[in-house]
Amino acid sequence: MLTTIKGEQILIDTNLRAKMKDDIITITGTLQESSEVIDDKKVREEMLDMKKEVSTFHEFFETFDALIMIVNEEGRILFISPNVDDRFLYKPRSETIGKTFREIFPKGQAEFFLAHCLEAIENNKIMTMEYHLPIENKVRWFQSQAIPVQVTNSEKKKVVTIIRDITNLKTKPIED
């Protein structure tokens, strides 16, 4: 909640990221006036709407060889494609969908994933990165592409992430 120069109180949605290089701090992100407080009910409604929209694409997901997630600008995971078994996820779906990166991953990892999504949103272009995570007590390597999604005025900005397991490529022995 902020107070304007005219003394009016307004609610602000923010999603800021700070970078420090030498003695200079650069802050990037979004700051916009909001007409309502985001509560758990609104998040649940957004996820339900997403689930209804995606249910028609079930066959598509079954033929796709990558994990697809929809993440909003807060780092909240709204959707995880059904084609990947829970044992291949960092945490089961029930502990992931509707949660933010910060609620799922250690702080550094959460900030890393959020920065990846925000970079795609801010630059309005596909961003690709590689990373590793411990899955089933083994280090797995992944390639993620974050694709910004066009949204209407009232929606939070989102990305579709396409995540492929590239462990075999990363750990393949070099042949002579």
- 147 token code pair: 């694709």
Evaluate whether 77 touches 96 at the Cβ level (below 8 Å).
yes
Q: Looking at residue 113, what is its pLDDT? A: 94
Listed by start position, the domains of the chain span 38-171
| Residue 92 scores a pLDDT above 80 | yes
The one-letter code for the residue type at 10 is: I
Q: Looking at residue 65, what is its pLDDT? A: 74
pTM, entire model: 0.63
**DSSP letter, residue 172:** P
User: CATH number of the domain at 38-171, please?
Assistant: 3.30.450.20
81: pLDDT confidence band, cut at 50, 70 and 90? Answer: confident
- Give the SS3 label for residue 66: coil
For residues 90 and 155, which has the higher predicted lDDT (pLDDT)? 90
For residues 54 and 168, which has the higher predicted lDDT (pLDDT)? 168
Evaluate whether 68 touches 81 at the Cβ level (below 8 Å).
yes
Rg (CA), the chain: 18
Predicted confidence (pLDDT) per residue in 16-51, tens digit? 555 666 666 666 655 555 555 555 676 677 667 666
Question: How would you label 94-110 residue by residue, b for 16+ Cβ within 10 Å and e otherwise?
Answer: eebbbbbbbebbeeeeb
Distance CA 149, CA 121 (A): 8
Q: Looking at residue 72, what is its pLDDT? A: 92
| Residue 111 scores a pLDDT above 90 | yes
Q: Looking at residue 101, what is its pLDDT? A: 95
